Amino acid sequence: MDRMLYVAMSGAKQTALAQAVNSNNLANANTSGFREDLAAFRSMPVFGPGAPTRVYAMTENPGVNLESGAIQATGRDLDMAVQGNGWIAVQAPDGQEAYTRAGNLRIESGGLLVTGSGYPVMGNRGPIAIPQAESLEIGVDGTITIRGIGEFANSLAVVDRIKLVNPDGAQLVKGKDGLLRLKDGYEADADASVRLVSGALETSNVNTVDAMVNMIALARQYEAQVKMMKAAGEMAAKSNELLSLT
């Protein structure tokens, strides 16, 4: 009886965790550059004194879906989409380098180039600062060119170059802040082959239809596990009644 109850209880708990992952994916279906989190179930034996006769369920995060989303034109000069494989390097809140596909860039009042979430964009010498200018252009290779205030149209100056990287996807791990980092904690080298598309943004790679179907399936799975727990309780109660008659 306790085996049945334990399996159902642990299964319900892990199903709820998987539902949280799926709900987060669904909530970010319209977030630029978002990468879908994956979740998978597996059974784990309970080791201890005696034979491992008890098994519980466990939800694992095997990684992130690194497939590209669709590229949508916006017409905004500071919107950049990574074409094909590659990432934009940014400075995470902990000061370390991290990577994102969200190219909705903006310039803060101090001239710092940041993403829509406020992460400073990394260049050749750290976070990129943009001086006041009449015009700004970001090339396909990430080179930032400006025309100073009062300068002639052909007086262009290169300010910096956005650091674009393309590490092995198997070496990337996603943090709670939604940014990706190398598992070993090192920084990826700049890759000159990565290209940007100006005036466009990459959509999330979450398939909303699949996420909705998965949400319904997980909800039904959770209900079945709760019913199994109730059945285990009822069977235990009946057993106690029978034992009390002896």
Same domain for 171 and 84?
A: yes
Same domain for 159 and 229?
A: no
Same domain for 143 and 184?
A: yes
Same domain for 120 and 193?
A: yes
178 Ramachandran zone, left/alpha/beta (phi>0; psi -120 to 50): left
CA–CA dist 227, 55 (Å, integer) = 19
Domain of 187 in residue numbering reads as 71-202
CA–CA dist 7, 13 (Å, integer) = 10
- For the chain, how many structural domains are there in total? 2
Q: Note the pLDDT tens digit of each residue in 160-172.
A: 999 999 999 989 9
Can you give the C-alpha Rg of the chain in angstroms? 25
> What is 140-165 written as a DSSP string?
TTSEEEEEETT--TT-EEEEEE--EE
Q: Note the pLDDT tens digit of each residue in 214-232.
A: 999 999 999 998 998 888 8
Same domain for 127 and 25?
A: no
Tell me what pLDDT residue 246 has.
Answer: 61
Average pLDDT of span 189-198 = 95
Query: 2 pLDDT band (50/70/90 cuts)?
Result: low
Q: Match 């802040």 to its residue by tokens.
A: 177
Same domain for 20 and 94?
A: no
Same domain for 113 and 171?
A: yes
Query: Measured over all CA atoms, what is the biggest interatomic distance in the chain, rounded to whole angstroms?
Result: 102
Tell me what pLDDT residue 157 has.
Answer: 87
| Amino acid, single-letter form, for residue 121 | V
Residue 164: closest CA among 186, 142, 143: 142
Q: Match 């970010």 to its residue by tokens.
A: 28
Q: What rounded mean pLDDT belongs to the chain?
A: 89
Tell me what pLDDT residue 200 has.
Answer: 96
138 Ramachandran zone, left/alpha/beta (phi>0; psi -120 to 50): beta
Contact predicate 158/130, CB 8 Å: no
Collapsing DSSP states into helix, strand and coil, what is residue 30? coil
Least trusted range by pLDDT, from 42-56, 149-163, 200-214: 42-56
Same domain for 135 and 183?
A: yes
Q: End-to-end alpha-carbon separation of the chain, Å?
A: 20
Same domain for 61 and 122?
A: no
The pLDDT of residue 28 is above 70: yes
Same domain for 80 and 119?
A: yes
Average pLDDT of span 103-125 = 93
Q: Note the pLDDT tens digit of each residue in 97-112.
A: 999 999 999 999 889 9
Same domain for 26 and 92?
A: no
Express as a percent the part of the chain with pLDDT over 70.
97
Q: Which DSSP letter does residue 63 get?
A: -
10 Å Cβ neighbour count for 123?
A: 20
Tell me what pLDDT residue 135 has.
Answer: 86
Same domain for 183 and 229?
A: no
Q: Which residue has the higher pLDDT, 3 or 45?
A: 45
